[in-house]
Structures are given as structure tokens and as C-alpha cells.
Amino acid sequence: MTALNWEPIDAKAVDTARVLAADAVEKVGNGHPGTAISLAPAAYLLFQKVMRRDPSDDQWIGRDRFILSAGHSSLTQYVQLYLGGYGLELKDLEALRTWGSLTPGHPEYGHTKGVEITTGPLGQGLASAVGFAYAQRYERGLFDPEAAAGTSPFDHHVYVIASDGDIQEGVTSEAGSLAGTQQLGNLIAIYDSNQISIEDDTDIALSEDTAARYAAYGWQVQTVDWNTKAGYVENVAELFDAIETAKANTTQPSLIVLKTIIGWPSPTKQNTGKIHGSALGGDEVAGLKKAVGFDPEKHFDVADDVIAHTRGAIERGQAERAEWQKGFDAWAAANPERKELFDRLEAGELPEGITEALPVFDAGKDVSTRVASGKSINAIAPLLPEFWGGSADLAESNNTTIEEAGSFAPPERSTAMWKANPYGRVLHFGIREHAMGAIINGIVLHGKTRPFGATFLIFSDYMRPAVRLAALMGIPSVFVWTHDSVALGEDGPTHQPVETLTALRAIPNLTIVRPADANETAWAWKAIIEHRDGPVGLVLSRQNLPVFERGEGDASGDTFAAASNTAKGAYVLAEAPNGTPDVIFLATGSEVQIAVEAREVLRGQGVNARVVSVPSQEWFLAQDAAYRESVLPAAVKARVSIEAGLKLTWAPFLGDAGRSVSIEHFGASADYKTLFREFGITTEAAVAAATESIAAARA
């Protein structure tokens, strides 16, 4: 086992980290100093002694990943990014939590170099870390599956710092259970068990044996207790040894329960809730500085020998990287095809032939969009080794299984239905939607593969915090949500989304796609894999829908538009019979057929209705004004939305004369035809709404 080299200058650097954290919070007047002070030794150990990272290149694919799940303690990370030379300087620490600074309240992905993931909502980091660990293994499987463990340039570890809050959140229980099942030897989490949260001593609400719980998940659990008979001793070597032991265990994720005193050695506020989330006050900061032998009059003061020592991380990182590069180059030379794949993924490019591979569905057949999605997934999967995913125990219902691909799991987890291998492409999340969301995010953040995770649309509620975080980070997580309306039928209102599309469309930077038929579904998948600037939710029907007969291009006369228009978000599917619309229907998914039928009924009444299919409001709003005007001419005020859910998101498209065919209440348990009839999602309702809207537009 490697021995730790720990000099007095390291101790001084750790103390420097503590006082910088205290100074930074004090300057802005708010923040979370406590953990940053007491966890400085652990963070320093990771950044300076444990992790293989090159501060000069935060994108180096060989780097160990670091996740601060306790995002409120952002200074724990910022101070190390400063000390280690990752790009942050003292002025950045001084600008903590202020407008435009590189040091926001919580670490933000894409904003500060060296931050691998946005954290802060508790549990998300630790849960996404499981996804990082999945991704490391899957990417290794893509590029270097034959290499012995620990010998591949694609081998590295994922380190996490987690807090009392993280381990209480349910999402980490879900993810922890999966991590054990997956035997993620590459995952090492340090749980800062300081037993203080905002309501002070956690005893009031936390009595479980967390170590035993993680052992029950199948984790290796070690406890490092810095509270000794001789008082509180920050035994860094003991922690280092535990990390080494964890690294040596390649078949279990590791939890190191590190028992600390929050805020130590702050003289009066250590070990209290006060130090968790508030500035210390000048006296206490001075007391802290005195306790570690620093000048209480100085602020943001870093000794030259300290920074010279810690910035040695740059040179060490570059040296480690040069060593790694040799292995990588040897791998590249020996694996030209895999290197080609690697280069394509790094460049963010797609191979030729996606369009040609898309399934084409014959008009006149009835196909649910979930089935069409399953066929689309399987059509493009052979071209895209980076494309993988699965379901939260609803594979058959979600139609998300890549056939004959093997399941991603240790072989011993194989069952009669699923054959597993460590590099399989089919993900099984169990009944754990929230962890699924966080894990998908982690996979996306780790590398350039394209994972997807599926459940029923209603259960997007269970994973919403992870979906929001994907949107906030602007990362291309893909969520497949089937059973997309009351039309799922007999399972009843607990399973029937009504408000769900609205609630999802409300999330900034999240794209929702609800295709109208099988061919729109295929083209939606193409657009989704081309889309890298944010998460997408693909919303699919349980029930069969007619496959529309379409032409090759735009709608014209009675020829329907080609499904290749899907990526525009909205397009004229069927033109008004005389070419000049009296009224425009806007519909999505299973309700587009109702618009098509209503167009025919209205034609019989001498009314010319245009049908606009709107698979994605977001994609449509991203089109230029001219295109939008061509689809929804301002002059046509009579408009009707048809969607089996709330009408709210249609209001901006409809205007005062617009009307909606919608459902404004919870569903019920019955077959879907009965529900659509009882809830007024019918051709008759669409015709009546059109008539009303035309009248309102004339008034």
C-alpha cells in the first residue's frame, strides 16, 4: 500500500484552506463555512495526494472525477481549485457568491473549471456519482474491454464528498442500492459524518446505522473517526489508508464514514448548527486564525511557500498525464477502429447513415409511439455504440430495450430474462426513477456517450429534481416517458398525467417532444441524438395511433407533410383544404388524429382548417420568426389546441380568440376510449371549439 507523504507545509496549506473559507464567507456575509473549515484536510488530501488530475486541463479524459455532493460547502472545492492551480485565484475567492463571479454559492458545471457537476440540491451529487462510475465502466467497455483491471487509460476513480444531508435523501438510497448491485469498485465516497445539519445535532432526526445500511447495499464500508480518546485528531494518514484500501477493492463501491467536528478548530462555533450556513463573525474568524497560528489581522493571506507547494499539483498532474499519454498512445496504435470511435465521440459527431437507418412506418397501420420509439432505438443503436439506456423496471412497457445487447451488470446478476455483462448496453434501474435521472446525468457528465432512461410520464415527478438539474447544466440527458395521458386507461388517476406536460414544459431549457405518429417518433429520435444543448423528454403514447399517409415535403392540398419536419417543433401537417385557413388546430401526440378528423368534418361544413402538429413547443420557439409566421400566421386568430392534458401551455399560442380541447382535472380508471369520450377529447369537441374560436375571432 502506498504510504502518505505529509509534510508540515501540507498542514499549513490545510490551515490556509480553512482560513480562506472563513474569510470568503465573512467578506460576502453569508455562505457555508463550517464544513469547508473542518473538511479541508480531506479535500486537500484528495486534490493534492490522491487524485490523478491535471489542473491545466480540466477536460483530460484520464482524470479522476471529483464530485462535491455537499454542494453548499462549495468552498471545500473552490479553495482546492485555487490552491491546486485550476484557474481560480484569490480574487475569485474574494468574489464568492457575487454577481458574475466564478465562485457561485454552489458549484456550477460549465461555469467554473474543475467543477464536474452542479450540486447543491442534496443527494444529487452522490447519486450522479453512481452514473459517473457506470460511465467509466461502459466507456472502458467501448474502448478497452480486454485490458486488465487498472491497466487501461480508461481506468480511473470517482471520488465523492457527501454530507449528512446527502445520505438522508432518498435518491441516494436508490443510487446506493444500484451501486452495490453493480459492484462499482471505481466509486469512493467520503461521508463527512459531522452530525450537524441546519437543525443542529442530527440526533433529533437521524439515528440509523448508516454504515450498516451501506453494507446492506453491498458497499465496502470503513469508518475513520477523528474523535479519539486523546481528543479530536485529524489523522490524515488513517484517511489516506482507508482510501487506499477502497482503491484496492475493485468489486465494491466504498463508503468511508469520516467522523469529524464541523467547523473545527473554530473556538466557539465548532460542532454547532450556527457554523453550517452562516458567516462566523469577525471574532470567531480571528479565533480560528489564532487557533491555527495565523495572523488574525490578515485576510485572504496566503504564504508564498504554501502556494508554491500546492501549485506543484500542476507539474505533478502534467507528469502523471504524460505517463498516462504513453498508455493512451499505445492503446490508440493498437486499436485504430476504437480510436476512430473515440475521436468521433470526442468531437461530438454522429456517423453517416442515421437518416437512412430510421425506420419507416407504413401509413394506415396503427402503431403506438412507444412501439415506434422502440423500433427507432433499435434501428439507430447499431450505428451508435455510445447510445445506451433502459428503464426503471418498465422495459417492456417503455419499449426501451436495445435487443441482443446484453444488460449492464455483473454476470452473476443475469436472470432468465436478461443476460448481463459489465459492459452491457441495457440499463436496469429497478423501481428507482429518481436515481435513474441522477445516474443518467452522471453518465452524460462523465463522457460523450448518450444514455437514456425511461419510465411512465407520471413518474417524471419522482425524478424531477434530476431533470431540473440536467436542464440547469444544459446537458443532453434523454428521458423517455411513455403512457403519456389519461389514455393509459385502467390504471387510473394515480398513473394518468394531466398536468405533467405543463409542469415539464415549465422547466427552462428542457425540451419536451410528443410525436403524433410512428414516423414523427423516428424523426424525433434523430433530432434528439443531434441535440446536445440540453435534456430532452420524449413523451410517448401507450395506445396505438394511426400512421399518417404523408408526402415528401410540405403539406399541400390534401397531401400531408413529411415527418422530417418533426425537428422544427411544429409544422403544417395538413393544409386548410382551400389553402387559406379559417382556423388552425394545434395538437400533439395522440390528439393530432383528432385534429385531422375535425378538419374533415369542418370541410363538410365549408370551413377550412389547417392542422399543425406540434411535437415540441421548444423546438418550434427556436425557429426563426418567418418560419413561425408561416405555420401560425398572425392574421389567423381562430386557433384551437388539442391535447389530453392542461391547456395552460397553449395560451401563448392561441390568443384571446383561441380555444382549447383539454383536460383540467384528474383522470379516472376506465378504458381510454371511454375516458376520451367522458372527458371531451373528441372530434366533436374539436369541431365545436373551432366554431367557437372562429366566432370569437370575428367578434
User: Which 619-648 residues touch a copy of itself, going by CB under 8 A?
Assistant: 646, 648
**Is position 344 an interface residue for a copy of itself (rule: CB under 8 A)?**
no
**Is position 121 an interface residue for a copy of itself (rule: CB under 8 A)?**
yes
Checking 408-412 for CB contacts under 8 A at 24+ apart, the result is 408/134, 408/137, 408/138, 408/182, 409/181, 409/182, 410/181, 410/182, 410/183
CA-to-CA dists, residue 69 to 117, 165, 200, 231, 507, angstroms: 9, 9, 20, 28, 23
Single out the residue of 1, 3, 347, 416 in contact with a copy of itself (rule: CB under 8 A). 416
Single out the residue of 88, 184, 409, 487 in contact with a copy of itself (rule: CB under 8 A). 409
**Please, which residue, 291 or 648, has the CB nearer to a copy of itself?**
648
Least Cβ distance, residue 451 to a copy of itself (angstroms): 16
8-state DSSP, 96: T
**Please, which residue, 462 or 620, has the CB nearer to a copy of itself?**
462
Q: Strand pairing partners for 366? A: 546
Q: Are 350 and 530 in contact (CB under 8 A)?
A: yes
- Please check if 434 is assigned to a binding site: no
- Please check if 52 is assigned to a binding site: no
**Is position 28 an interface residue for a copy of itself (rule: CB under 8 A)?**
yes
Least Cβ distance, residue 642 to a copy of itself (angstroms): 18
Among 433, 520, 591, 643, the one annotated catalytic: 433
Q: Residue 64 and residue 129: Cα distance in Å, rounded?
A: 12
Among 355, 162, 381, 348, smallest CA distance to 254 is for: 162
Binding-site residue total for a copy of itself (CB under 8 A)? 117
Single out the residue of 3, 333, 347, 417 in contact with a copy of itself (rule: CB under 8 A). 417
Single out the residue of 291, 332, 668, 688 in contact with a copy of itself (rule: CB under 8 A). 668
Amino acid type, 573: L
Q: Residue 391 and residue 430: Cα distance in Å, rounded?
A: 8
Identify how many contiguous H helices and E strands the chain contains and give both numbers. 27, 24
Give the helix/strand (H/E) hosting 449.
Answer: none
- Please check if 72 is assigned to a binding site: yes
The string of DSSP codes covering 402-443 is: -TTS-EES-GGG--SS--EETT-SEEE--S-HHHHHHHHHHH
Single out the residue of 430, 597, 603, 684 in contact with a copy of itself (rule: CB under 8 A). 430
Least Cβ distance, residue 648 to a copy of itself (angstroms): 6
Single out the residue of 227, 305, 343, 666 in contact with a copy of itself (rule: CB under 8 A). 666
Single out the residue of 71, 406, 437, 453 in contact with a copy of itself (rule: CB under 8 A). 71
Least Cβ distance, residue 179 to a copy of itself (angstroms): 10
**Please, which residue, 119 or 691, has the CB nearer to a copy of itself?**
119
Footprint of a copy of itself on 143-162 (CB under 8 A) = none
**Is position 119 an interface residue for a copy of itself (rule: CB under 8 A)?**
yes
Q: Strand pairing partners for 175? A: none
Least Cβ distance, residue 358 to a copy of itself (angstroms): 27
Least Cβ distance, residue 496 to a copy of itself (angstroms): 10
Least Cβ distance, residue 42 to a copy of itself (angstroms): 21
Single out the residue of 76, 101, 220, 641 in contact with a copy of itself (rule: CB under 8 A). 101
- Please check if 491 is assigned to a binding site: yes
Q: Residue 641 and residue 660: Cα distance in Å, rounded?
A: 5
Footprint of a copy of itself on 352-391 (CB under 8 A) = 391
- Please check if 85 is assigned to a binding site: no
- Please check if 483 is assigned to a binding site: yes
The string of DSSP codes covering 23-92 is: HHHHHHTBS-HHHHHHTHHHHHIIIIII----TT-TT-TTSPEEEESSGGGHHHHHHHHHHTTSS--HHH
Q: Are 367 and 589 in contact (CB under 8 A)?
A: no
**Please, which residue, 172 or 541, has the CB nearer to a copy of itself?**
172
Whose cell is 412507444? That residue is 370
Contact stretch for a copy of itself (CB under 8 A) within 348-356, 422-430, 589-597, 687-695: 422-430
Footprint of a copy of itself on 266-305 (CB under 8 A) = 273
Q: Residue 344 and residue 436: Cα distance in Å, rounded?
A: 26
Single out the residue of 44, 459, 481, 525 in contact with a copy of itself (rule: CB under 8 A). 459
User: What is the crossing angle of helices 592-604 and 683-698, to 10°?
Assistant: 60
Q: Are 355 and 93 in contact (CB under 8 A)?
A: no
Burial class (CB in 10 A: 0-12, 13-18, 19+), 83: buried
Grid cell listed for 347? 468531437
Grid cell listed for 243? 482510501
Least Cβ distance, residue 304 to a copy of itself (angstroms): 31
Contact stretch for a copy of itself (CB under 8 A) within 96-104, 285-293, 551-559, 611-619: 96-104
Q: Are 485 and 121 in contact (CB under 8 A)?
A: no
Give the helix/strand (H/E) hosting 646.
Answer: none
Contact stretch for a copy of itself (CB under 8 A) within 250-258, 461-469, 532-540, 594-602: 461-469
- Please check if 309 is assigned to a binding site: no
Footprint of a copy of itself on 476-515 (CB under 8 A) = 489-495, 498-499, 502-503, 506-509
Among 478, 464, 341, smallest CA distance to 400 is for: 478
Footprint of a copy of itself on 166-205 (CB under 8 A) = 168-174, 177-178, 180-181, 197-205
Helices (H), 605-671: 617-621, 625-631, 651-654
Q: Residue 359 and residue 377: Cα distance in Å, rounded?
A: 9
Phi, psi dihedral angles at 677 (to 5 degrees):
-65, -50
Single out the residue of 190, 384, 443, 472 in contact with a copy of itself (rule: CB under 8 A). 472
**Is position 605 an interface residue for a copy of itself (rule: CB under 8 A)?**
no
- Please check if 495 is assigned to a binding site: yes
Least Cβ distance, residue 104 to a copy of itself (angstroms): 3
Grid cell listed for 229? 480518546
Among 417, 340, 326, smallest CA distance to 385 is for: 340
Contact stretch for a copy of itself (CB under 8 A) within 101-109, 231-239, 246-254, 539-547: 101-109
- Please check if 165 is assigned to a binding site: yes
Known catalytic residue: 7? no
**Is position 421 an interface residue for a copy of itself (rule: CB under 8 A)?**
no
Single out the residue of 140, 156, 157, 434 in contact with a copy of itself (rule: CB under 8 A). 434
Single out the residue of 10, 15, 26, 108 in contact with a copy of itself (rule: CB under 8 A). 108
Residues marked active site are found at 433
Q: Which residue positions form the known binding site for Mg(2+)?
A: 164, 194, 196
Q: Which residue positions form the known binding site?
A: 32, 72, 120-122, 164-165, 194, 196, 276, 370, 397, 459, 483, 491, 495, 542
Q: Which residue positions form the known binding site for thiamine diphosphate?
A: 72, 120-122, 165, 194, 276, 459
